[in-house]
Amino acid sequence: MGLYDTVRLLVDLPGEGLAAGAIGAVVHVFERPNLAYEVEFTDGEGRTIAQVALTPDQLQLVEPAQGV
């Protein structure tokens, strides 16, 4: 997974108001100390619901970013 890829959340994050299956976009990739992804989740109007750092096992790639 890389920057701006579309991803699906595989776990519930009730503290963030997110359920498994939520779709988001990778907005930052952390390589140290461990690989992680900052993912932004938005509502139907494009407003940010949550932006959280997640580990690779919590996400599934839906669609790679095009032309980035």
Distance CA 9, CA 50 (A): 12
| 54 class by beta-carbon count within 10 Å (0-12 exposed, 13-18 middle, 19+ buried) | buried
Domain ranges of the chain: 6-57
* Identity of the amino acid at 61: L
pLDDT of residue 64: 87
Give the predicted TM-score (pTM) of the model: 0.91
Distance CA 27, CA 40 (A): 7
Divide the 68 residues of the chain into consecutive groups of 10 and give the mean pLDDT of each group: 96 96 97 96 94 98 84
